[in-house]
């Protein structure tokens, strides 16, 4: 397990995302974290999955911590997410976590799926 306060392997958790994750986790059982993973599927080939889990980080997990927010990313997903920024957006069309991924060559309109 690799742990950092701000970023790991160039994956950055913005202040907005950290605040929203902290708010979500504050309503969950102690020890709950947000796991972000890349899986096959979606309209562009790969998609991001967001899951609240109560588990200890695995040996191959990257742990992002900022304030009370804890995010786990497994090493396989990290291969697709290197250099990415995890953000939270609240605009006229809704609220969502968005990942700005420099490895993605195409993405869908909603931002949850991408191609590399």
d(CA 68, CA 39): 26
Distance CA 20, CA 28 (A): 13
Prediction pTM value: 0.82
pLDDT digits (tens, 9 = 90+) for 46-58: 888 999 999 999 9
What residue ranges do the domains of the chain occupy?
2-115
Q: Give the span between the Cα atoms of 21 and 45, in whole angstroms.
A: 26
Question: With the CA atoms of 99, 87, 68 and 53 taken in that order, what torsion angle do they form, in degrees rounded to the nearest 10?
Answer: -30
Judge whether 88 and 17 are in contact, CB under 8 Å.
yes
8-state DSSP, 14: -
Segment 89-115, tens digit of pLDDT? 998 888 889 899 888 775 655 556 565
State the CATH class of domain 2-115. Answer: mainly beta
């Amino acid at each position: 397990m690799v742990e950092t306060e701000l970023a790991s392997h160039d994956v950055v958790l913005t202040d907005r995302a950290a605040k929203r994750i902290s708010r979500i986790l504050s309503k969950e059982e102690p020890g709950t974290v947000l796991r972000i993973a890349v899986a096959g599927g979606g309209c562009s080939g790969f998609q991001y999955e967001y899951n609240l889990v109560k588990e200890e980080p695995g040996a191959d997990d990257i742990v992002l911590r900022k304030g009370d927010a804890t995010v786990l990313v497994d090493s396989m997903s990290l291969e697709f997410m290197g250099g990415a920024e995890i953000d939270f957006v609240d605009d006229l069309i809704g609220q969502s976590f968005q990942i700005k991924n420099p490895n993605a060559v195409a993405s869908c309109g909603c931002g949850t799926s991408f191609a590399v």
